[in-house]
Every structure is written in structure tokens, then in C-alpha cells.
Copies of this chain bind each other. A is one copy, B any other.
Amino acid sequence: MTASAGVVAQLREALGERVDTSPEALNEARADKSGHAAPEAPLAVVRAASVADVQQTLRIATATATPVVTRGAGTGLAGAANTGGGEIALSVRGMDRIVEVRADDLIAVVEPGIINADLNAALAPHGLWWAPDPASRAISTVGGNIATGAGGLLCAKYGVVRDAVLGLDVVLADGRLVRLGHRTVKGVAGYDLTSLMIGSEGTLGVVVGATLKLRRLVPGAVCTLAATFADVRAAAAASAAVTASGVQPAVMELMDAASLAAVHALLALPAPAEGAAQLTIQTDGPAAAAEADAIAAVLSGAGGEVAVTHDAAEGERLLAIRRSMHPAMEALGTTLIEDVAVPRSALPAMFDEIARIEREYGIVIPTVAHAGDGNLHPNFVFAPSTGSGTAADSGASAGSGTATDSGTATDLVPEHIWAAADDLFRAALRLGGTLTGEHGVGVLKRRWLRDELGDDQWQLQRAIKQVFDPVGILNPGKVFDA
């Protein structure tokens, strides 16, 4: 029996039929939604049904020095959950219970596998919601949202995941369970390991429970504005003007001309004017209508052609154009979806940089932005190169085109695309930004992490990883490139 077979045998003995080694399961675990996949399939998929299952898996992994990649719904966009050869894919997707909802304390305790939208559907009858709203909310898990420190559309007004988690139950690399954080609004006993765990992408432990900070549902109707501008820079400047005006929209999404055209084509809508870019904005709460009027004035003053609706269905229809971006890009080819964020005032300058990079590299970079918080998603669309690796395009969850990431630079992303992405990251950093606003580092951005953090901080972070994971079994090769 090989060492690998021994690990699988131990898992089977401990966990029985919750160990899945079917070719379909193993292949699916290679990829997330980034379009990239591990070159080889993992040893096994463990479908944990309980905290004890997670603990058993990690005890075996530690004893055998076998890497473990924790997975939720596999909707990540940076390859963090891609599971490769010799690794165990630990799925917590089946741990999806809502353990407790306390309307009086505005908290819920949940298991990690619950889908964000399902949680919110269950909270609505209590008059409550959990604010983090990634574009993937209908298909992504709360545990995945926590692992990536997810953002979304509502962050400028309602915060990111870090603002909405009070405590976490975490299984450590050796199988011990620790309870981090608190159930109270305030709490400063010791270091904030809850925040440390949020966004750690499975490299520090496995989240098996979360105490979430809830909000009460916002009363009143939502108002939606759609404004068209002659070009993307004008739209970006208008969004910065809205932020500077002091009115706080709930949603402010920007689509550039290439994005708008791709989505219109996908949805079979009439083509937009050449070069036209669009802002889609929503206001909510008691002052929604007045805020919409104030924003409309700012947008008109900035040269926009503005439409306002107080009708919820019409508003959802307008926003659906933005929500169709990911499938529209998938329809165009294989994409490298980037995720830079800049201070909001730098949004026009960042679009100038994108235009420069498009010219210099002779490529088109369809870009959408959560303009309210300065987070841009430039999409590098390309035909996969064929010089290296094996396309894993049978991975059902990996979108229409799937590139293979072999853990080195010799992946299916063509070199000139990586060079353009490198230029983009450096531009974002120069403008006071970050290389990832909400998708995380995973495998796709790890080679730039050190540039952003600086050597000293990068070493500190690696030393913290070592404290939590002395044997090096927790999602090795992700986040850090060495």
C-alpha cells in the first residue's frame, strides 16, 4: 500500500462513506470559479457532517503530514480552494445548519456550509439580515465568505465580512477545537484571533462555526438609478463625486464599455452606444428617495444621462445587468478576474491606468467596479496557451474555460497577460491601493503579495502561519509563494 493509499484507508476507517474518491468528486475539487485548476486530482474528498469529522480528518492529516484544503461551494476566484495531487479536500458544504438566531441580541450562530442567500432567506422572517453581499451570494457559503474576507456590493454602506463576525469556532491543524471571539458587541480579552482568521483562506485552521453580527432589515423601498456616460473615465469621476458629496448609496456599480457590451450581448439586449459606460446606484432606508434625487443631480452635473426608478422589480432588472458580468465573461473565453481596490478618489486615475495597459499590451480589459468602495474587477480574457500543463476543462464547476495552475509560472495564462496583470497590480499599489479587495490571494496573486506587504510583514505573516500550522498541512502553497 502506498503512503497515499494509507491515508485514504485511515480516512475511510474513521469516516466511512463520508470519504468520496469518485473521479467526478476528485475532479471537481481541483477547481474553483476562477477558471484555474490544480494539475492533478486530490487523494479524496471528505464530506464532513460534524465538527468531529473535521477533527478526525485533521488528526489523520497531521499524523501523516498530508495537506488539507478546506472547501465550501467552490465559488472562489483566486484558486484558494483548488485541491491538487496528494492533498485531502475537506468539504464543509454539508455542515449547513443554522444553530441559533437571537433577534434580541442581533446574532446568529451558523455552520460554515450554509449558502449566504439561504441564511438571509431564513433570517428575513425575523426582520434580520447578514449584510455581507458578495455577487456570488446565491451560490457561495458563509464559511467561504469568511475564509476570503468577502466584500460585495453593499460594503461602503454596510461593511465587509470582518465587520459582521463576532466569533468563530475553529479546528486547528492538529484537530483541537478553539472558540475565538465573543457573543457581545464589545470584547477585548486577548488578541483578536477572529479577525486574524477572517480572510486567511484556509491556511490557519478550519472554521466550523460562526457567530454572526446581524442587522435589522432596512425599512422602506429601494430607489435605483442608472446613468450612462460617454466614457468610463466620466463615469468613474461621477462616482467619486457622489462619494465626495456626502450621500451614501447602498450600491454603486460601474460597468465600462466592454463589460456593458458583453452583458448586453449575453442578455440579447440592444447594444449600448459605442464607448458608453454605466453607473447603477441604489439608495435605501428612510431617506432613499431624497438621496436618489441628490445623487441624480450629482450625476447629471457630471454629464450623465440619468434614469431613476422607485419600482423594486425595475430596479432589480437594472441591477441584473451588473450581476450578469461573470457569465458574460465566461462566454467570451478564459478569464483572469482581477480585484484591485484603490481609495475612492483614485478611481478615475485607476481607469486611466487600465486604458494605458490596454494600449501598451494590445488587449481589452473589460472592467466592472464596486465604485462606492473603489474596488475594481478588471477581466483579462484570453485564449489559453497550449504550451504547458493539462487543461482540466471537464471540471463542471470551473466555468466554460478552465486553466491549469501548476503552482508555477508555467500555467495556461499567457505570459503577456501575466505581464499586463503585473502592471495593473503595481499601478493599484502606486495609487495607494491593494492587489485584492475581496477575492483573496489564493494561487493567482501570491507572487505579488510580498510586494504589497513588504518583506518584514510578509515574514511576520509566515511566522504566524507557522504558529498555527507547524507541520505545514493547511492549504500549503496558497497565499504565500514559498
Binding site for B on A (CB under 8 A): 102-107, 127, 148-149, 151, 155-156, 159-160, 162-163, 172, 176-180, 182-193, 195-196, 198-200, 204, 216, 240, 243-244, 246, 248, 286-287, 341-345, 370, 372-375, 432-441, 445, 449, 452-454, 456-458, 460-461, 463-465, 467-468, 479
Contact = CB atoms under 8 A, between A and B. Distances in A.
A345 B198 contact: no
A344 B458 CA distance: 39
Given A160-B186, A191-B464, A460-B467, A102 B196 contact: no
A445 B187 CA distance: 13
Given A192-B195, A216-B246, A287-B286, A187 B104 contact: no
Contact of A457 (B163, B179, B185, B287): B179
B344 A105 contact: yes
Contacts of A375: 184-186
Nearest to A174: B456
Contact of A342 (B184, B452, B463, B465): B184
Given A184-B373, A457-B178, A457-B179, A107 B189 contact: no
Contacts of A151: 186, 188
Enumerate the 6 nearest inter-chain pairs by beta-carbon distance, A residue then B residue, closest first.
A195-B195, A185-B373, A186-B437, A149-B188, A184-B341, A104-B244
Contacts of A344: 104-106, 185
Given A148-B188, A195-B162, A246-B216, A434 B182 contact: yes
B345 A105 contact: yes
Contacts of A106: 243, 344
A145 to B, nearest CB: 11
Nearest to A346: B105
B155 A186 contact: yes
By secondary structure, the A interface counts as loop
Nearest to A180: B457
A341 B464 CA distance: 29
B193 A199 contact: no
A127 B452 CA distance: 32
A199 to B, nearest CB: 4
Contacts of A199: 188, 191-192
Given A184-B373, A189-B449, A216-B248, 6 more contacts: A104-B240, A149-B192, A155-B185, A162-B195, A186-B370, A190-B453
Contact of A434 (B184, B195, B374, B465): B184
A157 to B, nearest CB: 10
Contacts of A467: 460, 463-464, 467
